[in-house]
């Protein structure tokens, strides 16, 4: 017994199946269409200013700060201190006993009024180097015409400086004597007793080299 195959019926069924895949409305509408050239994929939220929708309004007495206002710094003062040291150009010595009338201050070409004037004393720390040699002894004796030891020409100003200019507790001095080599006589000190010992040591000795 033989069976005949029905090819036209199979062809019709296949055609309907393929046709159904192309016209299925579920597939054609589920996929998202790509954006056009004039449409952005992600849109940034619009910026809002204070007082607009989405932000609380600022109080009436507070205004938004401006950049130029933040950078401004204002400083006012009544007195400006100006320190000065006056010395003689030829001798290099410091000039003292000056008064307010000896000074004039200018700012941008305009003379300013000097309201206060004073000569304060500042602490000093100094190393005093003394030439204690045969040369100083000879020159000192010649300067006094032989009436006193030549070393007095060196020791006298040394003693005056140590006793009158070094004032404890803020001032300090170190004394170094030299002939062919330096010899420290005292480290930094402001003890009047120790400074007197330095002067006594110079008086009791005689320079040995030149």
**CATH number, domain with residue 184:** 3.40.50.410
Q: Is the dihedral of CA 119, 83, 77, 105 positive or negative?
A: positive
Domain contains 144: yes
Domain contains 66: no
Is residue 141 a contact partner of residue 149, using CB atoms and an 8 Å limit? yes
Of the candidates 76, 78, 74, 75, the residue with the CA atom closest to the CA atom of residue 113: 78
Query: Please, where are the H alpha helices in the chain?
Result: 7-22, 25-30, 67-70, 134-143, 152-164, 192-204
Domain contains 85: no
Domain contains 82: no
Domain containing 198 equals 125-204
Domain contains 135: yes
Of the candidates 162, 168, 163, 84, the residue with the CA atom closest to the CA atom of residue 123: 168
Number of domains in the chain: 1
Is residue 98 a contact partner of residue 86, using CB atoms and an 8 Å limit? yes
pLDDT of amino acid 9:
45
- Using DSSP, state whether 128 is helix, strand or coil: strand
Taking CA atoms, 96 is separated from 62, 93, 111, 114, 120, in Å, by 58, 9, 24, 19, 12
Is residue 150 a contact partner of residue 139, using CB atoms and an 8 Å limit? yes
Output DSSP code: residue 55.
Answer: S
Q: Rounded to an integer, what distance in angstroms lies between the CA atom of residue 97 and that of residue 151?
A: 31
pLDDT of amino acid 28:
44
Query: Per-residue pLDDT for the chain (210 aa), expressed as one digit of tens each?
Result: 454 554 444 444 444 444 444 444 444 444 555 555 555 555 555 555 555 555 566 565 666 666 555 677 777 767 788 888 787 877 777 788 888 999 999 989 999 888 888 887 788 899 999 988 888 888 877 877 777 787 888 888 888 889 888 888 899 999 999 888 899 999 999 999 999 999 999 888 888 787
Is residue 139 a contact partner of residue 153, using CB atoms and an 8 Å limit? yes
Domain contains 177: yes
Rounded to two decimals, the pTM is 0.45
Domain contains 183: yes
Domain contains 176: yes
């Amino acid at each position: 017994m033989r069976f005949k195959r029905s090819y036209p019926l199979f062809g019709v069924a296949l055609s309907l199946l393929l046709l159904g895949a192309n016209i299925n409305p579920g597939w054609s509408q589920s996929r998202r269409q790509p954006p056009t050239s004039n449409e952005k994929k992600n849109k940034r939220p619009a910026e809002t200013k204070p007082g607009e929708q989405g932000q609380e309004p600022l109080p009436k007495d507070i205004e938004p700060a401006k950049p130029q206002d933040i950078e401004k710094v204002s400083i006012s003062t009544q007195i400006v201190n100006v320190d000065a040291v006056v010395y003689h150009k030829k001798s290099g010595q410091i000039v003292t006993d000056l008064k307010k009338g000896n000074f004039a201050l200018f700012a941008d070409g305009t003379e300013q009024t000097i309201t206060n004037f004073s000569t304060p004393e500042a602490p000093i720390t100094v190393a005093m180097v003394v030439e204690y040699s045969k040369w100083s002894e000879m020159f000192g004796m010649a300067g006094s015409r032989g009436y006193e030891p030549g070393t007095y020409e060196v020791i006298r100003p040394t003693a005056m400086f140590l006793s009158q200019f070094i004032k404890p507790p803020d001032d300090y001095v170190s004394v170094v004597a030299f002939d062919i080599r330096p010899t420290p006589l005292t480290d930094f000190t402001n003890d009047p007793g120790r400074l007197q010992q330095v002067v006594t040591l110079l008086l009791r000795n005689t320079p040995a080299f030149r």
